[in-house]
Every structure is written in structure tokens, then in C-alpha cells.
Amino acid sequence: MRTPEPWVLPSSPTRGRDLEALGVGRGRLQTALASSRLIRLRQGVYLGRDHWPDDPAARHLLRAAAEQAFQSAAVISHRSAALSWGLPLPREDWSEEPVWLTLPRGEGFRSLRGGRVRQVVAAVPSHHVTTSGHGFRVTTLPRTAVDAARDLPLPETLVILDASLRAVCEGMVAGQLRRRDVANQRLVDAARLPLEEAMRWLPRTGGVRAGLALANPVRESPIESMSFGHMAMAGLPLPSCQFEVRLPGGSLFPDFYWEDANLIGESDGRLKYADSSAFAREKEREQLLRDLGFRIVRWLGKEIHLHPDRVMARIGRMLDA
């Protein structure tokens, strides 16, 4: 009896027809599936079991790649592309999130909005497509940001646009991005151009355009971006962001500063206190600012997510005091 030659299980999503072209017959595919050495990501696309990760986000990207392998014209886009680029997104549950794809117009494709795949038919010029670090065809960072932000309210739009501008600025400078880089208005204006260009190819970009007018890469966290968006929606006076307070031994950079009210705003997230001494350092920093005569208002990241109206009311009372 002839022993079948061993074959290397695919390490990336691969079509069954491509495996068959390499000499792997259907019988051997079925045997590998039955033994759980091979998994089916979608009809006709397979992956070696050892290459199926535990992380839901990594699994999502492999599911997106499987859909792309099945439809070669598809480009990974929207929230799936944002995940690939590392952009912050609201309500991340990648075990449930449908895969997002964009297919070109004029080739008979249809948009699909249900189930595990969201398929959008839209203009996709070649300069809006690139290859990710994982080897997938994905929309460029500016196109991804515009697609992902189009149907979001202003606070979530700013979360994406601030991070996108920061990433584009980073790609324009040599070495690590510095504070003075994101404070350079000429650099920031140049970083806005590819996002503005991407909007010209898409409908319903009014919200993104309004968000881009307020977007600022100087903001360093999604909490700061979301807070600023809620301030704008609430009609509050808009503060300076990452305002420099110069001291003899260096400088401090509070999240927000309202000069007319001499008020500093600080948005606190869990990452600020990742080590045991961080909380103590933050309290020392706050006391130093108070000693210099500044008034301070604070809020937590979970507050701006769950109860933004309470935070805006708190800021409003301090501004009126």
C-alpha cells in the first residue's frame, strides 16, 4: 500500500483549488479536516490548525484574509482595515465583528450588510490600496480612517481621525514622533491632505469633514479625543490640548487648558496608573499645578464613555465658577 507523501499545512488562508494545484487531493483535504489538523475558515478556504490564534482580533484578520482569498478583487476595509492599522475603535468585540470588505464598482458586485461579512461596493482607486504587514490587500490608512469614521458621531470620529493624523505625521518624520512635530502646523496640514483626498472618492463624508476640522494629532489618547468631541458637541469653550506649563526643572503637559478660566482638565485612564508609583506621581503633579495657581477638573475614561453629559456638566460648572 502506498503511503501518501506528507504535505505542509497552509500557514495563511489558502483556497482549496490552490492546494489541489499543488498536488493535495480532495481526499487528503477531507482527512486533514476530519483530524482537526486543518480548519475551514469559509467555504473553499483553509488554514492549518496550528496557525489559528487564540486572540479574537488576530482571528478576525485571518477571517478577513480568507474572504479576500475567495474574492481576489476584494480589499479589506473599514473596521477590519482599521484593526490591521492599529487604529482605536469604539465597541471592539472581534469575536462578533463582521469582516469588512470593499469591492470595485462596475464589475457586477453587490453590497452585503448581513451576517459575518459586510461587503461594500465603492470606488477603490489603486492608490487607496496597499499591502499590510501580514501580506493582505488593505485600504490605505487615510482611506481606512475615512471609511471607518463615516457613520460615527463626532467623539468617536475624533478618536479615529486624531490617531490617523498622528500616524501620518509619524510617517513624515525621521525617527520617533516628538511633541514639537505634532505641534508643527505645516506638518499637520500636510498630514490632512491624504484624508481630504480620500473623502473626495466617497459619499456621506460631511461628518468626517467636520471632524477633520477639529482633529489634532497632539492629543495622545482616545479618551482625550473623545472628551474633546463631547466638548464641541456640548457647545463648551474649546480648550488648548497638551498645553505646556514651564517649570524650572522641565515642563508639564496637561491634557486640556482653558486660559480664560485658568482651568486645567485631566482625563484619566487605567493606563496612566499601570505601575504602583504612577498614582503617587500623578497626585504630586496635580499638587504642583495647584501650587502654581491653576484650577483643575478631572474625569475618568469610563465616565466619558458611559456618562459624557455628567462630565460636560462638571466642566461647565468649573468654567462658570
Evaluate whether residue 114 is within a structural domain: yes
Evaluate whether residue 156 is within a structural domain: yes
Same domain, residue pair 192 and 241: no
Same domain, residue pair 252 and 292: yes
Of 218, 236, 254, which residue is a domain's last?
218
pLDDT of residue 12: 93
Of 107, 139, 171, which residue is a domain's last?
139
Q: Record the cell numbers describing residue 232, joined without a space.
A: 464641541
In the chain, which ranges are continuous DSSP H helix?
16-21, 26-34, 56-70, 78-85, 141-149, 154-172, 179-182, 185-199, 206-214, 222-234, 278-291, 301-306, 308-320
pLDDT of residue 273: 41
What's the DSSP call for residue 98? P
pLDDT of residue 274: 46
pLDDT digit string, tens, across residues 39-80: 999 999 999 999 999 999 999 999 999 999 999 999 999 999
pLDDT of residue 5: 59
Tell me the backbone φ, ψ of residue 314, rounded to 5 degrees. Answer: -60, -45
pLDDT of residue 260: 96
CATH code for position 294: 3.40.960.10
Evaluate whether residue 56 is within a structural domain: no
CB atoms within 10 A of CB 120: 18
Evaluate whether residue 311 is within a structural domain: yes
Evaluate whether residue 257 is within a structural domain: yes
Same domain, residue pair 133 and 154: no
pLDDT of residue 248: 79
Same domain, residue pair 160 and 211: yes
Domain tally for the chain? 4
Half-sphere exposure of residue 290: CA atoms within 13 angstroms, side-chain side: 10
User: Greatest CA separation found in the chain?
Assistant: 90
Same domain, residue pair 261 and 233: yes
Domain that holds residue 100: 71-139
Q: Which residues of the chain have pLDDT under 50?
A: 1-3, 271-274
